[in-house]
Amino acid sequence: MSNPGPKDRKNSKTGQTAGTLFVVSGPSGAGKSTLCRRVVENTGVCLSISATTRPAGGEEVNGRDYYFLSRAEFEKKIADGMFLEYARVFDHYYGTPAEPVLEELKAGRDVILEIDVQGAAQVFAKFPEAVGIFILPPGEAELRNRLRQRGRDDQATMAKRLAQAQWEIEQARQNGRYRYSVVNGDLAAAVREMTEIIENKQRIRK
């Protein structure tokens, strides 16, 4: 879990400590990681670190960007019930380690999960009050540019990510669980918008 959040807090209605879970999804390359990192700096919410079987790319660091696991390690964790949710995305497993998230929430801290729509559906089923935020790129051409510029994927993987993008947007529209959508055109404006969404929720809880 990155960034320890603000001090423990009580829910004024129930008297119990409980943080808010924010679920951030969107097509690969839309800028979710970039936005989440900035928002974490602004708001002090925690960002869950996922596990994945995909290889680390570029400058990614194990334990900071993801926990990079072998398929056998990941499947053992599934069998042991260690994941809050998991899904197969682009031929690899991705999952949210349950314990750190549950601990932060119990302590009254807010947590962001940056996960795909399949994993998000599992989270919304378990946590009906989770707040969904969908990140959109300003257009398909720009999405292609960003994936290319990021330079993390080979051609075949990039093609898969682009093909998946439309499906992901459609799924989000159909399931209606994303209360907010943020178009990540100008980065600073998108950071402000997402920060406001989170800070508004925090204000309501106080």
Interacting residue with ligand 5GP among 36, 40, 53, 114 (CB under 6 A): 114
Contact between 33 and ligand ADP by CB under 6 A: the answer reads: yes
Contact between 54 and ligand 5GP by CB under 6 A: the answer reads: yes
Which secondary-structure segment (H or E) carries 118? Answer: helix 117-126
Contact between 130 and ligand 5GP by CB under 6 A: the answer reads: no
Contact between 47 and ligand 5GP by CB under 6 A: the answer reads: no
Q: Which is nearer to ligand ADP, 150 or 192 (CB)?
A: 150
CB crowding 25-41: b at 16 or more within 10 Å, else e = bbbbbbbbbbbbbbbbe
Q: What tokens appear for 58 in the block?
A: 């570029």
Contact between 125 and ligand ADP by CB under 6 A: the answer reads: no
Interacting residue with ligand ADP among 16, 70, 149, 155 (CB under 6 A): 149
Q: How far apart are CA 21 and CA 132, in angstroms?
A: 9
Which one of ligand ADP, ligand 5GP, none interacts with residue 187, CB within 5 to 8 A by kind?
ligand ADP
Residue with nearest beta carbon to ligand ADP: 31
Q: Which is nearer to ligand 5GP, 135 or 197 (CB)?
A: 135
CB neighbours (10 Å) of residue 189? Answer: 12
For 65, residues 6+ apart whose C-beta sits below 8 A from its C-beta are: 33, 49, 56
